[in-house]
Amino acid sequence: MSDEIDYKGYRGKSLEVLKRFKCLIWSDVEVITNEGSFKGLVLPRSETADEFHIVLKIPVGYNIGIASEKIKDIKINGRREANYKIPEKAFPYDYRKPRVKLLGTGGTIASRLDYKTGAVIPAFSPGELYGSVPELADYCNLETEKLYGVFSENMAPENWIGLAEAIGKEIKKGVQGIVIGHGTDTMHHTSAILSFMVQNSPVPIVMVGSQRSSDRPSSDAALNLIHSVKTAAESDIAEIMVCMFGPTSDIYGLLHRGTRVRKMHSSYRSTFRTISDIPIATVSREKITPLRQDYKKRRQDKDVIINAVFEEKVAIVYYYPNMLPDIIDSLIQNGYKGIVIAGTGLGHVNKPLYPALERARQAGVAVYMTVQTLWGYVQMYVYETGRVMMDLGVIPAANMLPEVAYVKLGWALGQTKDLEKVKEIMLTPIAGEITEREPSNGYLIYQGGLPEVEKFIKMNRK
């Protein structure tokens, strides 16, 4: 027993008061203050909250904070602890349905609430998931494995490698589709690196998450999960995809190619967009509708190629006016082996950086150019400056998104130190990260306010 458990989150004065009355968290109490008495359950306190208050869940279900300095007495009437266990319902087995594996990396796909305490408890095992999203059983026989429990921003190369290897194993075992639960912030980094590490997959590999936490009735989590499981179980698209909301309405999801997708809004449900191209397909509860035909098809073999390597000493440099060369120099000095620049316009940086780029070349650092406009190609022949930079060893990375070029460069450098070979790997499209042409409907950011756009919005649910 320790204060950390018994008085979780309390410190300073509030901890003193709780200790004085031997009042552990989850105690059912009556708190007497000089302004009246309050009945309720003492809850753990958030680590970041102040040290002056005690949190009480009162019988109507609300929480209130009571200033510890006002407390005269605490009468303890009992104890009710949060039950962090979800009752499981066995996930029904149907021999006619495909086997789908759900790999978890962190974040909550589904959860339940413990109203007595207000705790949100994640659900993950097939039984738990079946309890909260029973529709999943309409599509598949689900197996789950929790690989990691990390926030999306903490996903690191070791996790990518572990994930790729886990996928390889599952395919060898014969699963007919894989779903990967992932936080949304870096989902497109992971989808890109998996597109390189896992090649020639015979089955769909679908990444999914949620923009609104699964504890709320309006969450996109359940529908995203249903869409992704349907895709993994039934679609003939054997690629690494991101499956998230198309519009903000609960209508359909989009299946984005793992190397062309990007999170484009900090909070919207429809935050994932395919950049410089169109998505592969739409998916609803009822059907998967391809938007194009040039995807890799599902196969019956198990001939997946796992190439899970990564050189960590790679950086993205997001160029801004007046960037000083010491930014590049510090990367060289720190032993970085690769730099992806997100340049302005067609792929530019300012002239004062040139000597630093020359030093990078001499130090054997691989330098690739991408565009911070996100849409469009690097084109370094158009202006003289671009040609000068190419002479300095900067290699244009076509229309690879900066994050995609970053993970691909780490992956290429993980395979070889020979910069010529790295260049060959970088510029050879593997999973749609470089496309030969940008279709005219690949760039669509329409502006609100324009009559024709407003008309469209009015006619079609957002």
Contact positions vs other proteins (CB under 8 A): 35-36, 38, 46, 48-50, 52-53, 55, 58-67, 70, 83, 86-87, 89, 111-116, 118-120, 123, 131-132, 211-219, 222-223, 248-251, 265, 267-269, 448, 454, 457-458, 461-462
Which one of the listed residues 184, 186, 271, 435 is annotated catalytic? 184
Q: Which is nearer to other proteins, 135 or 358 (CB)?
A: 135
Rounded to a whole number of angstroms, the minimum distance from the CB of residue 167 to other proteins is 29
Which one of the listed residues 28, 185, 215, 236 is annotated catalytic? 185
Report which of 45, 50, 60 is spatially closest to residue 6, judged by C-alpha positions: 45
Report whether 107 contacts 182 (CB < 8 A): yes
Which one of the listed residues 263, 296, 337, 408 is annotated catalytic? 263
In this structure, the chain runs to a length of 462
Can 50 be counted among the known catalytic residues? no
Rounded to a whole number of angstroms, the minimum distance from the CB of residue 449 to other proteins is 9
Q: Which is nearer to other proteins, 61 or 429 (CB)?
A: 61
For 191, residues 6+ apart whose C-beta sits below 8 A from its C-beta are: 207, 240, 241, 242, 256, 258, 259, 261
Report whether 133 contacts 222 (CB < 8 A): yes
Q: Which helix (H) or strand (E) holds 29?
A: strand 27-33
Report whether 348 contacts 383 (CB < 8 A): yes
CA 371/CA 69 separation, integer angstroms = 57
Q: Which is nearer to other proteins, 64 or 324 (CB)?
A: 64
Can 271 be counted among the known catalytic residues? no
Amino acid present at 427:
L
Rounded to a whole number of angstroms, the minimum distance from the CB of residue 37 to other proteins is 9
Rounded to a whole number of angstroms, the minimum distance from the CB of residue 80 to other proteins is 11
Can 94 be counted among the known catalytic residues? no
Cα–Cα distances (Å) from 207 to 13, 189, 314, in that order, read: 46, 11, 24
Q: Which is nearer to other proteins, 76 or 251 (CB)?
A: 251
Q: Which is nearer to other proteins, 391 or 454 (CB)?
A: 454
CA 273/CA 247 separation, integer angstroms = 10
Rounded to a whole number of angstroms, the minimum distance from the CB of residue 7 to other proteins is 17
Percent of residues in the chain assigned helix, strand, coil, to nearest 5:
30, 25, 45
Q: Which is nearer to other proteins, 26 or 411 (CB)?
A: 26
Rounded to a whole number of angstroms, the minimum distance from the CB of residue 147 to other proteins is 24
Can 263 be counted among the known catalytic residues? yes
Report whether 83 contacts 185 (CB < 8 A): no
Place of tokens 């904070």: 65
Active site residues: 108, 184-185, 263
